[in-house]
A and B are shown apart, each in its own frame.
Chain A
Amino acid sequence: MSQDTLFDKVWDLHKVSRLPGGSDQIFIGLHLIHEVTSPQAFGALKDKNLKVKFPDRTVATVDHIVPTDNQSRPFKDNLAEQMIETLEKNCLEHKIRFFNIGSGNQGIVHVVAPELGLTQPGLTIACGDSHTSTHGAFGSIAFGIGTSQVRDVLATQTIAMNKLKVRQIWCDNQLSNGVYAKDLVLHIINELGVKGGVGFAYEFAGPAIEALSMEERMTICNMSIEGGARCGYINPDEKTFNYIKNKLCAPKNENWDKALLWWKSLKSDDNCIYDDVVKLDASKVEPTVTWGITPGQSISINQQIPSLNDLSSNDQSVAEEAYEYMGFRPGQTIKDTPVDVCFIGSCTNGRISDLRVAAKVLKDKKVSKNIKAFVVPGSEKVAAEAKQEGLDKIFMESGFQWREPGCSMCLAMNSDKLIGNQVSASSSNRNFKGRQGSPTGRTLLMSPAMVAAAAINGKVSDVREFINK
């Protein structure tokens, strides 16, 4: 049983009661909602004749279904239009703050909440989306929930949940040049497995984590769920506080001082107890690419696709499935694999720093012929900042399409989809079968810089050959 970790402190603080079945009733400090997983929850409230208990503690935006080419209303897709209308109606009826398209603050929910300063240390944060773990980058305890739990949070501001165990993942040394947070988290998932984190919250720590910017930390925590951990977090530090300061919803003036004092008390104690500790050397991580159908099936850019003998017996059947689906052979190199589509965006890698890194690679270069390349900023704010810096022009001059903010081809609920068995180089988070909109589409996950390099060469490439020149 863990003791005195940040997770323990925040969990215990938010515990309302021990329920008769033995799980805990946990107060949710911040509830984020979007159009896909909330309509049925509002429907259930109506059926049970219940109200939203703390409407100020829920904030909404729209991201999953929004088109990224033409966002004028009504949307061309009737079902998408119906979903956004339902969210608008529910927010209006229940007096929930809604950052709609055109507000200047719309975007992917996990990009928007930190930008607004809603995401703060010490909060419990829930959202009907598995990538809610992103917010743990600020030292909050944040996790995805299903629609029935969205209903419970709306009705009671609490959910029933069993406390998680805590595993510290200590990352020694520093990432080398051309290696990014995405590479590190893909490496961690590969090491610990896609179900290694089931039952755990992951605490990411160590010099390599401390050196990361807040946006890079979000990339790490975002993909905790891909390693099976519903929740991942990083102890807050000066970088965390500086990021939040002066944001729209951040505490102000004397409240800021009070908040700061409290936030500083939250980090895991020096003598705290973890249920498990894993150590790895971040300096050994190389640009990493997935070759299979789970985010754990990844290799370094210069490695070969593993053969069955290289894998544990538990991983062999999924590997066989992956060879067949991806059309790859064991022993094949991942480098130089031709790609058809290049996608930069998502809650994992759609922030301004991601766009800056990719634009730097693309500057004065051209996207290879026959490649469809597009960039989807994570939010309206990211888009505005990118335009101010001229990044949109760099992308467009290189041959990338510049789109409007949304989740887009990370999960392909809008019209951004792969066609047939196209191969995509994608900065998103999941390479599941069919994930990017075609039942036979193939996804290679990598960092935004690596996507940019793949776009230029038309094939999977080592971005270090671009940036180290």
Chain B
Amino acid sequence: MKTEFNPPSGKILQISGKCISLIGNDIDTDRIIPARFLKCVNFDSLGKSVFEDDRKTLKGRHPLDLEENKNASILIVNSNFGCGSSREHAPQALMRWGIKAIIGESFAEIFYSNCIAIGIPCFTLPKKSIEDIQKYIDNESLFLEIDLKNSLAKSKDLNFILEIKESSRKMFLSGEWDATATLLENASLVEKKFKELPYTKFGNI
């Protein structure tokens, strides 16, 4: 973890930063943040424990521990990243380490929605493109400037289009990824729905 952590807020239009590659399919949220770190009543201290067991095993050779990745903020992953437990602690830990966006072949469903809910855009690219980027990063630094409006990633050598769910993209552009306010706006519709539901007439639960 680097400088003081400032969570994202409002519209997210652009993210730029250095890429860091983490190779492997089916990386689960227990690996991202082992369960013993879930014993907390806030997320503040999670950044330093992200991938703790993998990092200990690799004794300083884990991508997150390499000097050249110290200031990286765009994570490049493979398929089914974030599978398993629904713990939001996983993306919270990544975010507190410094990750601002993730590009991968595919994401597990709950991890993906947790990322959206805390302001980390997750983009997808075909398997081959991800592997090409990861190979490239092996040898050279890759800085990307991601423009959410056009789903476009630019580097010094090339431009490419990133895939992102349209609803997620729109939420980042409007700031509605931080959903509470939007949901609250429909309070009267919620009340109406509550009264319409058959089971609310079956007595108290």
- CB contacts (< 8 Å) of B199 on chain A: these are 29, 120, 122-123, 259, 262
Q: Which of A21, A160, A262, A439 has the most CB of B within 10 A?
A: A21
B86 within 8 A of A: yes
For chain A, residues 164 to 209, give those with C-beta under 8 angstroms from any C-beta of chain B.
194-195, 198-199
A80 at the interface (CB under 8 A from B): yes
Q: Check A40–B43 contact: CB distance below 8 A.
A: yes
A56 contacts B205, C-beta separation under 8 Å: yes
0 or 1 for each of B58-83: is its CB under 8 Å from A? (1 = yes): 00000000000000000000011001
CB contact under 8 A between A318 and B26, given known A145-B110, A228-B108: yes
Q: Does B179 contact A (CB under 8 A)?
A: yes
Asked if A27 and B194 sit within 8 Å, CB to CB, the answer is yes
What residues of B have a CB within 8 angstroms of the CB of A356 in the complex? Answer: none
B161 at the interface (CB under 8 A from A): no
Question: In angstroms, how far is the closest chain A Cβ from the Cβ of B166?
Answer: 6
A54-B194, A122-B198, A194-B26 known; A255+B203 contact, CB < 8 A: yes
Say yes or no: is B56 at the interface (Cβ < 8 Å to chain A). yes
Cross-interface CB contact of B170 among A13, A20, A433, cutoff 8 Å = A20
Tell me if B86 and A144 are in contact (CB < 8 A): yes
B175 CB to closest chain A CB (Å) equals: 10
The reply to whether A318 and B197 form a contact with Cβ atoms under 8 Å apart is no
A129 CA / B38 CA spacing, docked (Å) = 13
Q: Does A94 reach chain B (CB closer than 8 Å)? A: no
B109 at the A/B interface (Cβ < 8 Å)? Answer: yes
Chain B residue at minimal CB-CB distance from A54:
B194
| Smallest CB gap from A313: residue in B | B127
Chain A residues near B186: list those with CB within 8 A: 16-17, 25, 156, 158
**Which A residues are CB-close (under 8 A) to B41?**
39-40, 43, 82-83, 86
Residues 19-50 of chain B, each 1 if its beta carbon lies under 8 Å from chain A, else 0: 00000111010110011101111110000000
Which of B26, B86, B166 has a CB less than 8 Å from the CB of A145? Answer: B86
Interface residues, chain B, CB within 8 Å of chain A? 24-26, 28, 30-31, 34-36, 38-43, 53-54, 56-57, 79-80, 83-89, 91-92, 106-110, 113-114, 117-118, 165-168, 170-171, 174, 176, 179-180, 182-184, 186-187, 189-190, 193-194, 197-199, 201-205
7 A-B pairs with least C-beta separation: A146-B88, A146-B114, A148-B117, A144-B86, A439-B53, A21-B170, A22-B167
